[in-house]
Amino acid sequence: MIFLSDFSVIKPDFGLLFWTAVIFLLFWFIIGKFAFRPIAAALRKRESDIQGSLDEAKRVRQEMANLKTENEALLVQAREERAKILKEAKDAGTKIVDEAKGKAKEEVQKIVASAKVQIENQKMAAITDLKNQVGAISLEIAEKVIRRELQGNAAQEAFVNDLVKEIKLN
C-alpha cells in the first residue's frame, strides 16, 4: 500500500478528531443559540407579519369591493326610487290637472247652464213683458179705434195715422 502510505488525510489522527469535535460542538451551541435561532425566529416573525399584512390587505380590498357593490346597489335603488317618485309626482300632477280641468269644465258648464237658464228666464220675462205690452197697446189701440169709429170716418183715419206715428215713436 505504498500509494496510501503517505496519504495522511485518510488516517484520522486523535488530535484532529478531538479538536474538530470541540470546535464544531462549540460552534453549534454558541452560533446556534445566539445567531441561528434568533435569526430563524426573526425570519418567522417577519414571515407571519408579511402574511398578516397581505391577509389584512386582502380583507380590506374585499371589504372595499363589498362596499362598492353595496354602494352601487344603493345607487341603483336610489335611482329607481327617484324614477318612481318622479313618475308618481308626474302622475299626481296629471291627475290634479285633470281633476282641475274636469272641475273647471263642470263649473263652466254649470255657469253656462245657469247663464242659459237666466237668459231663458230673462227672455221669457221679456217676451211676457212684450206680450203684455203688445196686449196692452193692442187693447189701447183697439179702445181708441173703437172710440174714433164712433166719431166719423175721416176722423177715424186721421186717428189711426196718429196712432201709427205714435207706435213708430215708441
Partner 1 sequence: MRRYFLSFICLLCLSVFAFSQDGHEQPPVGQHGEGTVQHDAVCGPVEEHEFNPGATAFHHIADQNIYNIGPWSFPLPCFLYAPEQGWSIFSSGKFHIGHHGNGHAAVDRYALVEGSVRRITDPAFPSGEVQLEGTFLKKMEVDGKQKEVAFVCYGGKNYAADSKSTADGGLFGGGITSFYDFSMTKNVVTMLLVAALLAWMFFPVAKAYHVRDGMAPKGIQSFVEPIFIFIQDEVAKPFLGHKWEKYLPFLMSLFFFILGLNLFGQIPFFGNSNVTGNLAVTMVLAIITFLLVNLSGNKHYWSHVFWMPGVPAIVKILILTPVEIMGLFIKPVTLMLRLFANITAGHMVMVVFVGLIFIFGKGEVLPSSAAAVGSILLTIFMMAIELLVAFIQAYVFTILTASYIGAATEEAHHH
Q: Which residues bind partner 1 (CB under 8 A)?
A: 1-21, 23-28, 30-40, 42-44, 46, 49
Minimum CB separation from partner 1 for residue 55, in Å?
17
Minimum CB separation from partner 1 for residue 88, in Å?
59
77 residue type, one letter:
Q
Rounded Cα distance, 104 and 116, in Å: 17
24 versus 64: smaller Cβ distance to partner 1: 24
Minimum CB separation from partner 1 for residue 58, in Å?
20
Minimum CB separation from partner 1 for residue 25, in Å?
7
CB 117 within 8 A of CB 136: no
Minimum CB separation from partner 1 for residue 54, in Å?
15
Rounded Cα distance, 66 and 58, in Å: 12
31 versus 125: smaller Cβ distance to partner 1: 31
8 versus 153: smaller Cβ distance to partner 1: 8
Q: What is the DSSP letter of 8?
A: G
CB 156 within 8 A of CB 145: yes
30 versus 155: smaller Cβ distance to partner 1: 30
Residue with cell 416573525: 45
37 versus 131: smaller Cβ distance to partner 1: 37
Rounded Cα distance, 132 and 125, in Å: 10
102 residue type, one letter:
G
